Every structure is written in structure tokens, then in C-alpha cells.
Amino acid sequence: MKILISADMEGTCGVSSWVHVQAPEVTSANQAASTVEYGRFRKQMTEEVNAAARGAFKAGATEIIVNDSHDFQRNIVIEQLDQRLTYISGADKRLGMMQGVDLGVDAVIYTGYHAQAGTVGGPLAHTWNTWVHDVRFNGVSTGEFGVNAAIAGHFGAGVIMVTGDDQAVQQTQDFLGDQVTGAVVKWGVSSSSARHMHPEKALALIESAAERAVSGAHGVPYVLQPGTEIQIDADHQARIDQMRLVPGVTRVGNRTASFTVNDGLEFSDMFRLVMKVGGLALNT
Ligand SMILES: [Zn+2]
């Protein structure tokens, strides 16, 4: 069984602030603090990937690829990685957080995932960026766990496990079903606060969860049906003006854009394009 680990960072044990997950050169928080704090948590992020890989290999995984899926996607400390893994680093990949899933992958594991935008008490909860308020598939609200499941599903891979805060795990299971094994490494207190287990205990929990996930039933791919309507709510009406410049995108609300897709790859391409265009500076 070939596995892709999509490694995000906000859901890592010990993380509760942006200063923990933003590199000093890109941080919107305190740069000096980021130099120390980001350095600490990229190591924990890497160890959580290693823990998931150990469990998966124990249960019979034959090959594991890890795709760095956070921010500029060069967070994992490569020299600290389990030597059996191969590592995809860097940004502007066509499949984004799911890069590598097209390489014959059977199942996907999410590590360090966070709750979707607008989640009360979800530490660092967001979807994709700071200005998306919601993403819906045929009216059903979702987060990055759903966006990425739709891309994986196109390539025949199902999501079998998620690690992160309690609501990230719950939302992923609510959206994709009980086939997803959860490892809760912290419990959200507020948008910027969490109660954490000890990071070493988090690693043990992740390892055993991955072992169970890989030895259990295979994840059922989440496949978008032809004609699925995608809606995106933004923070500002001008973003929808910009998104509408993309052929096929219409406004269905003051701050809501809509488009339809026929499969997960078309969704991935359109979503990335619309996010780029919507993210261009507003002339306000
Ligand atoms: Zn994320």
C-alpha cells in the first residue's frame, strides 16, 4: 500500500499561535519570536510525520511520500525525516496540498490539520487563507480536509487518517465518515488557544493511530460528481468582482462566487485559479 502524507502545521501539538507556524521571513507576527518558536514547531511537525510513517510501515505500507502542505511548503526538517520517506517541498505545485497523490497512491493521511474557517474555539481555524469564509460543495460546507479529499478522490485515493485539534478531527470524520481514523493531539480553547497533550505522547498516539488506519479498511475515495457546484464566500465583495473575471465563475451573493466542475482535477485547477485571482490586492 502506497501512502501520501499531507503535512499541514497549524494542527501540530503545541501550536496555538501564528508565531508558531510562520517562518521569520514571512511572519505577520513578531519576527524575533518567530525565529525561535517556528524553529521549535517545524521539528515537532516533522516528528509527527515520522510517527505517522512508523505506524503505517508497521501495518504494511510499502512506500510513503510526504508532501509539505503548509504556507510556503518548506517547513519539514528534511535531515530529521525518517529515511524511508521521500519528501516533496516547495510551493506552486499543481495539486497543492495533495501533490504526489497522482503517483499511484492508495490512501492519504493528513497530519497537523486544523478546523475550517469560522470554527468557534478552533485554534488557527481557517480555510486556505485568511479571507475565505466558507467553501461549499453542492451546499455542504467544508474545509481544507474536504478540498483535499476531493482532489485525492480523483486519483482513486481515500483519506484514512487525520491528526490535529479535536474539531479538525471531528469535522474531517463528519465530512468523510468513520473510515477516517482520528488522532486528537490538542483540544481547542479559543481561536488562539489550545490544551495540548505532551508532544511525546502525541507521537505515540499518532503512531498507533496510523497503524490502525493502515491495517483497517481502505479509505473510500471522495469523488466529486459531474456538475458539482462549488461556492466560495469571501470577506469582501470586491474579491468576487475579481473572481468573476475567470470564465465560468458567477456571483451568487454579494460576497459569494460559484462555479461548477466535473471532477476533482478540474476542481483543483479552478479552485487554485480562483484563489489566486481573489487574492490579488484590492484597490480599496
Ligand atoms: Zn492549512
- Structural domains in the chain, CATH included, are 2-133+142-215 (3.40.50.10780), 228-278 (3.30.1360.130)
Q: Is the dihedral of CA 260, 266, 272, 273 positive or negative?
A: negative
d(CA 9, ligand 1 centre) in Å = 7
Cα-to-centroid distance, 144 and ligand 1 (Å):
6
Question: Ligand 1 centre from 185 Cα, in Å?
Answer: 16
Query: What is the distance in A from the centroid of ligand 1 to the CA of 8?
Result: 6
Residues 17, 21: Cα–Cα separation, whole Å: 7
Report whether 181 contacts 161 (CB < 8 A): yes
Q: How far is the CA of 95 from the centre of ligand 1 (A)?
A: 14
- Give 16 Cα–ligand 1 centroid separation in angstroms: 13
Cα 140 to Cα 216: distance, rounded to the nearest angstrom: 28
Tell me if 162 sits within 8 A of 212, measured CB to CB: no
CA of 176 to the centre of ligand 1 (A): 17
CA distance 135 to 225: 17
CA distances from 220 to 179, 215, 216, 217, 236 (A): 8, 14, 12, 9, 36
186, β-bridge pairs: 165, 196
Q: By the 8 A CB rule, do 146 and 231 touch?
A: no
Cα 69 to ligand 1 centroid, rounded to whole Å: 7
Question: 244 C-alpha to center of ligand 1: Å?
Answer: 25
Residue 61 Cα to ligand 1 middle (Å)? 25
Total-model pTM: 0.97
| Centre of ligand 1 from the C-alpha of residue 111, in Å | 10
Ligand 1 centroid distance, CA of 124 (Å) = 9
Q: If you measure from the C-alpha of residue 80 to the centroid of ligand 1, how many angstroms do you get, rounded to a whole number?
A: 22
Distance from the alpha carbon of residue 112 to the mean position of ligand 1, in angstroms = 8
Q: How do the pLDDT tens digits run along the chain, 284 residues long?
A: 999 999 999 999 999 999 999 999 888 778 888 889 999 999 999 999 999 999 999 999 999 999 999 999 999 999 999 999 999 999 999 999 999 999 999 999 999 999 999 999 999 999 999 999 999 999 999 999 999 999 999 999 999 999 999 999 999 999 999 899 999 999 999 999 999 999 999 999 999 999 999 998 678 999 999 999 999 999 999 999 999 999 999 999 999 999 999 999 999 999 999 999 999 988 76
CA 231 from chain centre, in angstroms, equals 19
Pairing between β-strand 140-142 and β-strand 158-165 as defined by DSSP bridges: unpaired
The rounded Å distance from CA 150 to ligand 1 centre is 15
In terms of Cβ atoms closer than 10 Å to its own Cβ (0-12, 13-18, 19+), residue 130 is exposed
11: CA distance to ligand 1 center in Å? 8
Query: pLDDT value at position 244?
Result: 97
| CA nearest to 115, candidates 127, 104, 105 | 127
Neighbours of ion ligand 1 (CB under 5 A): 8, 144
Cα torsion angle, 174, 180, 181, 183, sign: negative
Distances 148 to 62, 208, 226, 268 between C-alpha atoms, Å: 23, 24, 17, 8
Over the chain, what HEC string results?
A: CEEEEEECCCCCCCCCCHHHCCCCCCCCCCHHHHHHHHHHHHHHHHHHHHHHHHHHHHCCCCEEEEEECCCCCCCCCHHHCCCCCEEECCCCCCCHHHCCCCCCCCEEEEEEECCCCCCCCCCCCCECECCEEEEEECCEEECHHHHHHHHHHHCCCEEEEEEEEHHHHHHHHHHHCCCCEEEEEEEEEECCEEEECCHHHHHHHHHHHHHHHHHCCCCCCCCCCCCEEEEEEECCHHHHHHHCCCCCCEEEECCEEEEEECCHHHHHHHHHHHHHHHCCCCCC
Spacing, Cα 59 to ligand 1 middle (Å):
27
